[in-house]
Structure 1
């Protein structure tokens, strides 16, 4: 694997003169955080692994708490990290655990938590492909706006839009965490996500 040096990304960002978000395929928050600045934002791989632990593998929800705490101390700006649970480099969430309820919880987290929610195509259709190329299945002719996951994401994003400026720019405030439960709020209305 070739690592592109940070100086290159700094020059690229300056030359492009647009918002840049890049991928550092690593779960170590110290390593990934070192790239914020060279690029504006990064895919939030450290949190991706924490969400996999908590939701897909059904281990302690304290993983999310630990991830948020660590990221706030390491990244200059967590509000612009790209949060995701599926992407083109990893088996899909449903490949490791087929329970839609767990998928919904992970999706709710990335949609409402601090950061930029990124939903990889096919997640809304319940795609469950494994390693590449199975995680890159064609969306067509499988696109269905009546799929239950599509409707769930649609409802969440509609609610997020309704929250508008009362949520944007607001930190998420952890309300409770134990091994089985994690909740936080954002915005004036005290949006709760579990």
Structure 2
């Protein structure tokens, strides 16, 4: 059994390295996708100096099995989540929305949301926040995030859950401000 774990762990490390390389060459390690909300990858979450320089105060971990790296420096919300279309990510939407909303009440706070690559889980969490705040569709939320983070691409199961979240809650439709020119 140890051998299967070693192969699995080795593949995981190789995948993480490829992910980091792709994101680094495309300048996608850390992006402000909404004023004071950043999306990024696991490696960036371990770069305390960069997080501090960026002014990050709050971190959402959308990843199973990862403990906060710097609990004395940042306020954390850990969400146990896997990037699988059958995983129920929507169970975390209200908790993450409340965490973001509470953090942003202080104009000096900034929130960093990450998973492994900053492509699916973390983007979906921020989409849920934009959907609740503006009553926009998942497609609109993803498109807005993609203006700043080109690699944003939630899996189809998460997109469906975001659609259900909008439909089931009947959020008030507000005009999404043009916080970043497209």
**TM-score scaled by length of structure 2:** 0.33
Q: Indicate the structure (1 or 2) with the bigger Cα radius of gyration.
A: 1
RCO comparison, higher one (Cα < 8 Å, 6+): 2
More helix by share: 2
